[in-house]
Amino acid sequence: MPQSILRTLVIGCLMLALAPAIPAHAADAPTASLDQVLQEQAPAILNQLREKGYKNVGVLKFRIKKGSDPISDKVGTLNMYLANRLEVALILVNSNDLAKQVGIVKNASSVAAKIAGASHVTAEGRAKLFQSEYPLAWGNSLVKPDAFLTGIAQVSADLKQVTVGILAFDTSGGALTKVVPPFDAVMTPSTLSEVGESFTVRGAFDSAKPEVVNAKVTEAAAKVKTADATHPLADPATPVMLEIRYDGKPIPLEFRNGKAFVAEPLEGQKVVLILKRTEHAKGRLGVVVKVNGENTLGRQRQRDIDCRKWILDPGARPIELVGYQLEQDTAEEFRVLSAAESIANEMNYGADVGMISVTVFREVGGEALPDTTPGPQPDTPKPQPDTPKQPDTPKIAKKPEPSSNAPADLPDDSAEDLLALSRGIHPTTTPKNLAALKHQLREGSRNADTRGLIGQGQIIASSVRKVQFNADPTPLLSAAINYYNPKGQGKAASQ
């Protein structure tokens, strides 16, 4: 049988194995978030790596399939976030005992992106991935991994759940193999944003139950996707608007099949984004604006709730974003290009996602948009301002392998590990050993600086000041704008 046909059969069988079945009863539906399930699965995944005798392992960018859409390496930020979170999960359950320790590569995709022809989809591409050296997440060693992990996530057509398969391949030259059985997770508001879905939340905050909030947000996103509801950026009642200008000229958005599109600028054109409140906004708002998956504040690549935010107070004037704000008084011009379309059997390991995204958070205790849907409204009490909800954590998994070598003042708290996993962010400087890395990951989850930044009127000299903003973890609004090449060279960015 020709190798190309064999590859097609292998990938087709794999997708059939991972395709999520629609549950027959609501009780069968998953209740844990994707981050929680990754935390639960991490010990079994690490044990499999040990049993195979792997000494050093890298985690590569995932591919995602939404409903009947083609599988893609650029659905949204979740493609890369899944790899980052699995990487951190393996670090946190790793053993400080050198005899049992598995070396985990730091950001393997960043190295893979620079290797010509590298792709875990083909045997030839996989072989090229083993030819380079990769930095470990701790210490100062460069290693050639014994194996790589990656995976496929399939989002159900109704956006209610995601099924994830973790795959591995090694230097033997064989095909990708399943590491653990595929697992299901419930879609949360943050996960919906990370796969490029758009929604406006109305009335979900009337309930203190995470499952009720998740269900309302998922329903809202599904309606936008099927064009049964207006896209948030086309909705006359939207609380926040984003205007895109090229060389000072406003560029209209195009809305097709529940998605928003904008033509990418020509080479040399100056891109400016105008962020503004509307008369429909309630209370104080914090807004994360990302271009190609990078926060316009500090070029952060992490989940929106952890990013610094532009603050829109009642009566605030529009904020002019002239580039990525790097420091208090400096900015770097935007780079706005549609994601390069991968040819068959190739993989784009870059972090760019080919879109602009807007995520709006209300302040804890602030006002929400009224629910305009017909029918009775839930009578559950609103969450109190002094007891803010925690993001996506209805359950906490027991910590699988507490370290006896951890610092004495470090609490053995799986909630802390879950937060570190959810952030998926390495320390700025590489720690000397694994125990130090675990400590810094947990410390970072405690001390994450998610303060907002507010523009002093219209930003002209890129000058900003910091203010405190305590965001409700459920977004009030999330909107994705896919940019494309008008000549037809960037259509894949919209998938």
- pLDDT given for residue 371 in this prediction: 55
Mean pLDDT, residues 123-137: 97
How many structural domains compose the chain?
2
**Domain CATH code at residue 98:** 3.40.50.10610
- Cβ atoms of 167 and 177 within 8 Å: the answer is yes
Flag whether 413 is in a domain. Answer: no
Helices and strands of the chain, counted as H and E runs: 9, 25
Domain boundaries, position 481: 196-387+450-494
Same domain, 360 and 219: yes
Flag whether 441 is in a domain. Answer: no
Same domain, 184 and 203: no
**CA-CA distances (angstroms) from residue 35 to 119, 419, 420?**
26, 9, 10
Same domain, 361 and 469: yes
Same domain, 114 and 168: yes
Concatenated DSSP letters for 316-339? PPPEEE-SEE-SSS-EE-----PP
Name the residue type at position 4: S
Which of 193, 225, 259 is at the close of a domain? 193
Mean pLDDT, residues 116-132: 96
Q: Summarize pLDDT for 260-290 with one digit per residue, the tens.
A: 999 988 878 899 999 999 999 999 999 999 9
Flag whether 216 is in a domain. Answer: yes
For 24, residues 6+ apart whose C-beta sits below 8 A from its C-beta are: none
The answer to which of 221-235, 333-347, 460-474 has the lowest mean pLDDT is 333-347
Flag whether 219 is in a domain. Answer: yes
Q: How buried is residue 389: exposed, middle or buried, by Cβ count under 10 Å (0-12/13-18/19+)?
A: middle
Which of 193, 211, 235 is at the close of a domain? 193
Mean pLDDT, residues 13-23: 42
Res 26 pLDDT > 90:
no
Indicate the pTM of the whole model.
Answer: 0.82
Res 76 pLDDT > 90:
yes
Q: What are phi and psi of 82, to 5 degrees?
A: -60, -45
Same domain, 127 and 208: no
Q: Summarize pLDDT for 316-325 with one digit per residue, the tens.
A: 999 999 999 8
User: Percentage of the chain surpassing pLDDT 70?
Assistant: 76
Res 412 pLDDT > 80:
no
Flag whether 418 is in a domain. Answer: no
Flag whether 141 is in a domain. Answer: yes
- How far apart, in whole angstroms, are the C-alpha atoms of residue 207 and residue 228? 24
User: What residues are paired with 446 via a beta bridge?
Assistant: none
- How far apart, in whole angstroms, are the C-alpha atoms of residue 473 and residue 280? 21
Same domain, 109 and 247: no
- Cβ atoms of 321 and 328 within 8 Å: the answer is no
Classified as helix, coil or strand, 287 is strand
- How far apart, in whole angstroms, are the C-alpha atoms of residue 265 and residue 241? 20
**Token duo for residue 461:** 């000299």
Name the residue type at position 435: A
**CA-CA distances (angstroms) from residue 241 to 101, 235, 282?**
50, 9, 14
Same domain, 274 and 146: no
What end-to-end distance do the CA atoms of the chain give, in Å?
32
Flag whether 262 is in a domain. Answer: yes
H or E element, residue 198: none
Among 195, 157, 9, 10, smallest CA distance to 69 is for 157
Burial 183-206 (b: 16+ CB within 10 A, else e): bbbbbbbbbbbbbbbbbbbbbbbb
H or E element, residue 285: strand 285-291
- How far apart, in whole angstroms, are the C-alpha atoms of residue 158 and residue 221? 9
User: What residues are paired with 135 via a beta bridge?
Assistant: 142
Which of 138, 169, 193 is at the close of a domain? 193
Flag whether 403 is in a domain. Answer: no
- Cβ atoms of 196 and 480 within 8 Å: the answer is yes
Same domain, 159 and 229: no
When pLDDT is cut at 50, 70 and 90, the band that residue 392 belongs to is very low
**Token duo for residue 237:** 């009642």
- pLDDT given for residue 368 in this prediction: 66
If phi > 0 it is left, if psi is from -120 to 50 it is alpha, else beta; for residue 196 that is left
- pLDDT given for residue 354 in this prediction: 87
